[in-house]
Structure 1
Amino acid sequence: MASGTLGRHLVACLLNVSEARRKDLVETVAKAALYNTEAGVKQEGTTVLNIFNDHGYNRSVITIVSSIHFIREAVLSACDKACELIDMRAHAGVHPCMGAVDLIPIYPLGEEVGVQDCAEEARAVAQGLTERVQGTSAFLFGWADSPLQRGLAHRRKEMGWFKKTPDLQAIRPDVGPQPQRRYGLTGVGASPYVMNCNVTIDTQDITLGRSIATAIRESTPGGLPGVQVLALPHEGAVEIACNVESLKGDPPGYLAGEPWPSFSIDSQSYCHAPASLITARVAELAEAQGVGMKGTALVGFAPHECRGLAEFALSQGIGEFWKEQHRIRM
């Protein structure tokens, strides 16, 4: 099959699981996306591009890419394994979380798949998870949350995700029973691609970190469009952890001096703030307070890079691409 054909109908799931300190466990979850353990066969047309482990947060992000026709089974297989191996009653970490499988976002990777297609798959994944693993429950966000299409930050706030100890008994999930401490609660949704960009500043002053987070947040006048952000203690410093949502149309005129990556879905153009712009804005605000930078990390990839790597991995038959990516330069 030609790589151009392989590139059709691709979607990405950036699966967030509440474990990072047992890397073998996380890799077992990733492999479950690639191999149907019951049948003992490889999932068709699926690759795991990346595993991002964060020890301090005790959270990992597994980048699964597949045809939309196969993504449901790949994701459910990984979730099944994660729920078997991760017990939220024993979880500890700095990053807020509510579920053993904390987040299942599904994104289209090109013109061939629409966001509504991903929303249908997300709803099917939420239903499938609660049927396969008895006791799991889910809330829906983005395009999967029909007809309201409430965003992830909005739904997380409603569910108490930002609280230090969420009250599971007060939560009314969209799918499944009342959340149990064993599995917690999983967010499942769909949207245009959301990039994760974490910028670390060289301070332990969380109050300063929060002021910077507030300044760059989309909801703040003068903030960066599409940027949702938390400031969290991280390995002796403070991390400005950003979800960078894709925006319809062209970059905002007042920020268009720097190239904004763009792509198209359903003949609609989208763009997102570049990591370099976010880093520069954080650096400027930190420097004004006499604080330096420690670095920037992308959790996974930008949309174009994700699609390009997936097409390459699938054309070469590489399922466990996360093991190969450091020696392969595109």
Structure 2
Amino acid sequence: MSRIVAAIPNVCEGRDEAFISRLTEKLKGVDGIILLDVSMDQTRNRTVLALTGSRTALFEAGMLLYEESLKQIDMRRHEGEYPRIGAVDVFPFVPLKDVSIQDTVEMAEEFAARVAETFRIPVYLYGEAARVPNRRLVENIRDIEYEGLEARLKDPAWKPDFGPDEFKPDSGATIIGARYPLVSFKIFLDTRDPGVAESIVRSVAFTHGGLRHVRANAGRTREEQKMQLTVSIANYRETPMYKVLELVRLEARRFGAGVLSVEMIGLIPERALLESAMYYMNINGFSLDRVVEKNIMAHLNEKVYFMD
């Protein structure tokens, strides 16, 4: 059976299409790498990439991504509607099939050491790879954002896990870790009032006493200047998408606002969408093997496996 690991790097550039195009072409050229998805976001000025391949291929592609991004991106000029601390802001390893979370923790630790040694930038470990309890949640690391990074690096309690504790103005720092599959999406609101969006964030995000496993930030769309929420769910099985969306709708109604639309960020597990479909269609007794494509692939995989 095949073992599948993904890497989901987030780089702080979402407006320079030429650079992202060059970067993705170079990543595709790495032997054994499959580029699953590229999601550029002009409002957040951020691009999320999804890669899969062997351990060796992911490490090679990851080092290439850092090299190209650190040459191109100058954090002193970066602006975007999202918390960040560095040019390559976050680089998580995610177990997808027949791989344990501990496997990805070991990958994150080895890769973080390589990045720190090669590029001489501060590296923080997060998620399941965190060595310090309050660094487990990525929002705890980048709550000060790039603008507060220089002061934080002077605090002994925030010494990086790898690399120097020196502020690099052009590149900032980076966060590397291991986590389970994440569901990320944007919710567009029919209001231009930032106070409304921030109030909804406080009701939804776990750090403010909201839903468990949920991270949320408010921002403004560049085109229509309406408010949007960027939401991430760390465990969609315990806190499904529909629960988040319904709470946002409920809170928005308090201010005479509503939800215009939802847009996915990156890839999403099949089960996450099906659970929402089951909820809104009020379907009982449904299981994944009732999906025709899923059923066919399961049988095909069985036949391939037993041919060995």
1: distance between equivalents of 2:41 and 2:7? Answer: 18
1: distance between equivalents of 2:3 and 2:243? Answer: 30
Deviation at 1:169, TM superposition (A): 4.5
2: distance between equivalents of 1:71 and 1:89? Answer: 29
Deviation at 1:179, TM superposition (A): 2.8
Which of 92, 97, 100 aligns to 2:87? It is: 100
Deviation at 1:106, TM superposition (A): 1.2
Which of 194, 201, 219 aligns to 1:206? It is: 194
1: distance between equivalents of 2:271 and 2:92? Answer: 18
Gaps of at least 5 residues in structure 1 are 36-41, 247-260, 262-270, 313-330
Bigger RCO (CA 8 Å, 6+ sep): 1
Question: Given that residues 193 and 245 in structure 1 are in contact (C-alpha distance below 8 angstroms), is that contact kept between their aligned partners in structure 2?
Answer: yes
Deviation at 1:145, TM superposition (A): 1.5
Look up the equivalent residue of 1:62 and give its one-letter code. L
Aligned: 1:31 with 2:20? no
Question: Given that residues 109 and 303 in structure 1 are in contact (C-alpha distance below 8 angstroms), is that contact kept between their aligned partners in structure 2?
Answer: no
Q: Which structure has the highest helix share of the two?
A: 2
1: distance between equivalents of 2:269 and 2:95? Answer: 9
Aligned: 1:57 with 2:39? no
Aligned: 1:294 with 2:283? no
Look up the equivalent residue of 1:123 and give its one-letter code. E
2: distance between equivalents of 1:74 and 1:292? Answer: 42
SS in structure 2 at match of 1:109: strand
Partner in structure 2 of residue 125 of structure 1: 111
Partner in structure 1 of residue 15 of structure 2: 21
SS in structure 2 at match of 1:297: strand
2: distance between equivalents of 1:282 and 1:71? Answer: 37
Q: Structure 1 residues 216, 141: closer, same or farther in 2, change over 3 A?
A: same
> Which string of whole-angstrom CA distances, capped at 9 and with x for unpartnered residues, describes residues 107-126 of structure 1?
1002x111111111111221
2: distance between equivalents of 1:73 and 1:131? Answer: 15
Deviation at 1:68, TM superposition (A): 3.7
Partner in structure 1 of residue 300 of structure 2: none
Question: Given that residues 87 and 182 in structure 1 are in contact (C-alpha distance below 8 angstroms), is that contact kept between their aligned partners in structure 2?
Answer: yes
What does 1:251-270 align with in structure 2 at a 5 Å threshold? none
Deviation at 1:272, TM superposition (A): 4.7
Gaps of at least 5 residues in structure 2 are 154-158, 273-292, 298-308
1: distance between equivalents of 2:255 and 2:136? Answer: 36
Look up the equivalent residue of 1:15 and give its one-letter code. P
2: distance between equivalents of 1:78 and 1:55? Answer: 20
What does 1:76-87 align with in structure 2 at a 5 Å threshold? 76-87=63-74
Partner in structure 2 of residue 145 of structure 1: 130
Question: Given that residues 173 and 179 in structure 1 are in contact (C-alpha distance below 8 angstroms), is that contact kept between their aligned partners in structure 2?
Answer: no
Partner in structure 1 of residue 239 of structure 2: 273
1: distance between equivalents of 2:89 and 2:190? Answer: 28
SS in structure 2 at match of 1:175: coil
Deviation at 1:131, TM superposition (A): 2.4
Which of 189, 203, 206 aligns to 1:218? It is: 206
Partner in structure 1 of residue 152 of structure 2: 170
- Please identify, of 121-130 and 184-193, the stretch whose mean Cα deviation from structure 2 is larger: 121-130
Q: Which structure has the highest strand share of the two?
A: 1
Identity %: 24
Q: Structure 1 residues 220, 101: closer, same or farther in 2, change over 3 A?
A: closer
Partner in structure 1 of residue 3 of structure 2: 9
SS in structure 1 at match of 2:142: helix
Q: TM-score, normalised by structure 1?
A: 0.74
Partner in structure 1 of residue 54 of structure 2: 67
- Please identify, of 289-298 and 89-98, the stretch whose mean Cα deviation from structure 2 is larger: 89-98
Aligned length: 265
Deviation at 1:147, TM superposition (A): 6.3
> Which string of whole-angstrom CA distances, capped at 9 and with x for unpartnered residues, describes residues 27-72 of structure 1?
222233332xxxxxx421x211111111122111111122345322
Look up the equivalent residue of 1:125 and give its one-letter code. F
